Chain A
Amino acid sequence: MPTRDDPDGGPDLIDLTDESPEAVLALFEERGWGDGLPLVAPTEARVSEMLARRDPDEEVAVLPPRFGRATCQALAVNAVLAGCAPAVFPVVTTAIRALAGDEVNLQGVQATTHPVAPLVIVHGEAVSTLGFNAGLGTFGPGVRANATVGRAVRLALLHVGGAYPGRGDQSTQGQPAKYTYCIAENSPESPWEAYHRWCGVDAPSAVTIHCGAGPHNFHDMESESASRILEKGASAFTSLGSNNACISEGECFVVLCPEHAATIARAGWSRRDVQSFLFERARLPVAVFRRAFEQRRWRPWMQEIRDVEQRIPMTDHPDNYRVLVAGGAGKHSCVIPSWGVTKSRTLPLDV
């Protein structure tokens, strides 16, 4: 049977003699589709309900390396497969729209040997109205909106974008975040302005995508000092194994738990202060970087430093630290290093 990669195209609709989940999964396995987990059958009725009033032919993006057209219909099919409720569909389309920005370099993200996965972050009113978990266990399982939106984005990247392992996605080891990777900002418990408004997005709700590694936890159960907490974040980020070590323009998302954020804010620190502190503290001597890497995508001023004992930053500008609050009770925060040659993007939620 022809597939949609054939120049002449293939069928939009496939007949299945059996509507059981096993039959759908067997078809997907046979075609080399899916993420290996059971799927919801994308019937005409379910896809129509997912689309609601959206134009099925609206092209949201063209996704490399397959260069498939991510129309609203194609994305609705993948949202159904992932188990999304129709209400969260605008989050899926916004995330895919964001991924299509030139600065994201999606072709590189999709095809690289690095285990990068797009993290979807939901901000604003949509967090509560659509049922996202911004609190305890925000990165983890248990809440449909987080789990299915991240999965729908991944399924679209697989099916429409063609990032099948070994056939488009060359990630050496992959990572669990390639199944689903979606959190929400905990604005009610954040001492600072909502992240999307700080980025200049004046909208009630928004979506950020960051193409990075998995989250690297740092804990501090005892400190009452902002610097003592953030020293641990700086330490977690100062790793020669991260792409940020050899690509200076990469960002680092710093996801603070509410308790750490409250302690830091009580000391009078702004989000900008957190960025500046991390920029100053997450450093290694030039000699260490040069011993570790012959090929460095660094700014010219970094390449020219002669004093090999000089400590230089893990990323070349304080703005590359992207700070927000998510999670619940406890004293665990995390840093999420970048793939490197990519920038995060924040867009207002599609309406």
Chain B
Amino acid sequence: MSIRIFCPEGALGVQPMRLSARPDLLAGRRIGLLDNRKPNAGVLLARVAQRLAQRTGASVSLALQKSNAAVRCETDLLDKLGAEADVVLTGSGD
């Protein structure tokens, strides 16, 4: 016998944000860094950004740190990245 059951997920309370389209070229673009405070994340991101800038003609415009790896990024940091960078590098696992 057939039955009908409810989907267990329910609706979304906040529509998911989508990433901006990636630029075709990095030349002339500003690269921002967001260190999530995982061990060595800042070192890794700085090195990747430096290599990217050298290879593409982009520039590293700013590097920011979250206050703690275990909490959300502060809104003012996101606003600053949005205003002062065209591309943002972030994230590093444990």
Listed in ascending order, the chain A residues whose CB lies under 8 Å from chain B are: 3-5, 7, 9-19, 24, 33-34, 41-44, 47, 59, 62, 66-71, 73-74, 77-78, 81, 105, 107-108, 112-113, 155, 159-160, 170, 172, 294-295, 297, 339-341
Contacts and interface: CB of A to CB of B under 8 A. Distances in A.
B2 A19 contact: yes
Interface stretch (B13-21, B25-33, B74-82): B13-21
B3 to A, nearest CB: 4
Interface stretch (B43-51, B52-60, B64-72): B64-72
Nearest to A71: B10
B11 A43 contact: no
A73 B72 contact: no
Interface of B: 1-16, 37, 39, 68, 70-72, 93-94
Contacts of A10: 7
A78 B6 CA distance: 9
B94 A113 contact: yes
Contacts, number: 115
Nearest to B4: A13
B2 A340 contact: no
A133 to B, nearest CB: 26
Contacts of B8: 33-34, 42, 74, 77-78, 81, 155, 159-160
B14 A62 contact: yes
A45 to B, nearest CB: 10
B10 A73 contact: yes
B2 A69 contact: no
A108 B68 CA distance: 11
Contacts of B3: 15-16, 19, 41, 43
A120 B68 CA distance: 26
A67 B12 contact: yes
B29 to A, nearest CB: 29
B5 A14 contact: yes
Contacts of B1: 18-19
Contact of B12 (A5, A16, A341): A5
Given A4-B7, A44-B4, 12 more contacts: A3-B9, A4-B9, A14-B6, A18-B1, A41-B3, A43-B4, A44-B6, A68-B13, A69-B13, A74-B9, A112-B70, A341-B71
